Amino acid sequence: MPNASVKPDPRERLRRLEPTLRKRHLMFQGIRDFFAERGFLEVDTPVRIPCPALEEYIEAEPSGTWYLRT
């Protein structure tokens, strides 16, 4: 039975995930290259939500009848 007080090494987890992360990177890079070669422009679009989050210290920005995610 493993000792519950011993925390796993985050570097070991990264080593295990690296092949998957590399495949993901190559997939997204291929998609970006495909569209870039055809003259498309990549943009980030904001996320809209139907009601503002309950954060007293942040005032939500209206976007039509919805709000931008803070």
Tens-digit pLDDT profile for residues 13-68:
889 999 999 999 999 999 999 999 999 999 988 889 998 878 878 888 899 999 98
Q: Is residue 2 over pLDDT 70?
A: no
DSSP-derived 3-state class of residue 63 = strand
Q: Is residue 1 over pLDDT 60?
A: no
Q: What is the pLDDT of residue 35?
A: 97
> Distance (Å, rounded) from C-alpha 34 to C-alpha 38?
7
Q: What is the pLDDT of residue 3?
A: 63
Q: Contact at 8 Å (CB) between 63 and 43?
A: no
Q: Contact at 8 Å (CB) between 25 and 17?
A: no
As a whole number of angstroms, the longest Cα–Cα distance in the chain is 57
